[in-house]
A and B are shown apart, each in its own frame.
Chain A
């Protein structure tokens, strides 16, 4: 089954062609980071306009890379017949960004007579680990635990079967990537915060010299709802505590900035790793799958690898090019039979707060 995937949930315009859910024939991503950098975060209006400008060109590039012989500059119309479906993200994300991809996908599906498949973006991040050639088949590792960490999401998801998953833990306030971005903003390190914080933290010898809050919610906190405090994280207090620390101890030089940010990163990474560890030791999981932009963080990769080793299960990390938002994960998951299909798909509207497993 060959599927064209389209993704536009936030600030990346992406298209990809994937065969049989695993074999990525092409994956093209246009990142708008430079457009949003002056504002210190994604500006919805700018994101949406840029998606509109770029999307058809990105789809053409993905088609040419997948089916061309290297010399073509435009699409051979016969290539459209090779597609068995068009898959697209319909949530979660920014409404004004999602709508661009969804409208484009609906129009394309109608035009070429291919079925449309609506995909959940967070569930697709989990599938990104299966796009590596060495990864097992999803069916071999059910049930498994998945951690999705990005600028907009931080959740622990239990995947029990194809298309069957549920959130067992999550952030109670800010996402991990948001916590990195906000800290970078407070310390004048630019946007996005993740990569620069990772680099600075690697430059210091001691990982944690400042005792920041642990990012773990208290048991009995009413906002947990039905969730277990041991599987949830909370980064809002950590961010506030960094702010107070900076107020009382303004860093005198770059070395102090690095030491502070390394401790802050360690608190976030430790909270996430510790939550995964508890879940792995309690549940009968066969693997830990990790996706999302924050999973690029080198310290998090190190800690999660250690945590899974201790629990005796393999850790499946997405290739760096599939960690951030991309369309290969959308097309790949659609190949597996996931998502909203049939007539229902053509009726789909965007769902900005779509949860995994819903």
Chain B
């Protein structure tokens, strides 16, 4: 199934994220595709808000992996940007998190394609012509 959303504000991106949250269950992998500035941070903030986390969702670029305890499940936010091999993803606990029922959001998933399960939800974020414009494509099996 594929849904396409054209959004024109941060709030509209958050509304799409809230829809995606309804699809999440323990062990879901959410692959976030999109270039620098495509809106991955904004989208993840929307996920956090919909999960009632209400705290800053800081960039995982430095620590590679940030964890948040939501009421329904643990949310893990990983950044593969500088990993050199898919093994590095395993080294930062990716498989254990899924096994333990966390929802794992992965930025730059194309760096470890083989490790993204077939039932993962794929989110494609694309820039529009204006700064606030985004196209968000949500794909789920």
Q: Report the separation of the CA atoms of residues A224 and B48 in the bound assembly, to the nearest whole angstrom.
A: 11
Least CB distance, A59 to chain B, in whole angstroms: 25
Taking the complex as formed, is B58 at the interface, i.e. its CB lies under 8 A from any CB of chain A?
yes
Q: Given the complex, which residues of B lie within 8 Å of A186, measured CB to CB?
A: 36
Taking the complex as formed, is B88 at the interface, i.e. its CB lies under 8 A from any CB of chain A?
yes
Closest to B49 in A: A222
**In the complex the two chains form, is A353's CB within 8 Å of B63's CB?**
yes
Q: Given the complex, which residues of B lie within 8 Å of A241, measured CB to CB?
A: 131
**In the complex the two chains form, is B56's CB within 8 Å of A41's CB?**
no
**In the complex the two chains form, is A352's CB within 8 Å of B65's CB?**
yes
**In the complex the two chains form, is B56's CB within 8 Å of A170's CB?**
yes
**In the complex the two chains form, is A175's CB within 8 Å of B62's CB?**
yes
Q: Given the complex, which residues of A lie within 8 Å of B91, measured CB to CB?
A: 96
Taking the complex as formed, is B28 at the interface, i.e. its CB lies under 8 A from any CB of chain A?
no
Known: A41-B82, A174-B41, A353-B67. A239 touches B36 (CB 8 A): yes
Taking the complex as formed, is A46 at the interface, i.e. its CB lies under 8 A from any CB of chain B?
yes
**In the complex the two chains form, is A41's CB within 8 Å of B81's CB?**
yes
**In the complex the two chains form, is B54's CB within 8 Å of A223's CB?**
yes
Known: A236-B41, A352-B65. A39 touches B36 (CB 8 A): no
Known: A41-B82, A44-B83, A173-B41. A178 touches B55 (CB 8 A): no
Taking the complex as formed, is B98 at the interface, i.e. its CB lies under 8 A from any CB of chain A?
no
Least CB distance, B87 to chain A, in whole angstroms: 9
Taking the complex as formed, is A45 at the interface, i.e. its CB lies under 8 A from any CB of chain B?
yes
Least CB distance, A102 to chain B, in whole angstroms: 16
Least CB distance, A87 to chain B, in whole angstroms: 22
Q: Report the separation of the CA atoms of residues A94 and B91 in the bound assembly, to the nearest whole angstrom.
A: 12
**In the complex the two chains form, is B62's CB within 8 Å of A178's CB?**
yes
Least CB distance, A241 to chain B, in whole angstroms: 6
**In the complex the two chains form, is A223's CB within 8 Å of B62's CB?**
no
Taking the complex as formed, is B140 at the interface, i.e. its CB lies under 8 A from any CB of chain A?
no
Residue interface bits B68-96, CB-to-A below 8 A is 1, else 0 = 00000000000001111100100110000
Residue interface bits A290-320, CB-to-B below 8 A is 1, else 0 = 0000000000000000000000000000000
Q: Report the separation of the CA atoms of residues A43 and B62 in the bound assembly, to the nearest whole angstrom.
A: 10
Which of A92, A174, A240, A243 makes the CB contact (< 8 A) with B63?
A: A92
Least CB distance, B21 to chain A, in whole angstroms: 14
- Residues of B whose CB lies within 8 Å of any CB of A are 36-37, 39, 41-42, 45, 48-49, 53-59, 61-67, 81-85, 88, 91-92, 131
A-B contact pairs, 30 of them (CB 8 A): A10-B62, A41-B81, A41-B82, A43-B82, A43-B84, A92-B63, A94-B63, A170-B58, A171-B58, A172-B45, A173-B41, A173-B45, A174-B58, A174-B61, A175-B58, A178-B61, A186-B36, A223-B45, A223-B48, A223-B57, A224-B54, A224-B56, A232-B56, A236-B41, A240-B37, A240-B131, A243-B36, A244-B131, A352-B63, A352-B64
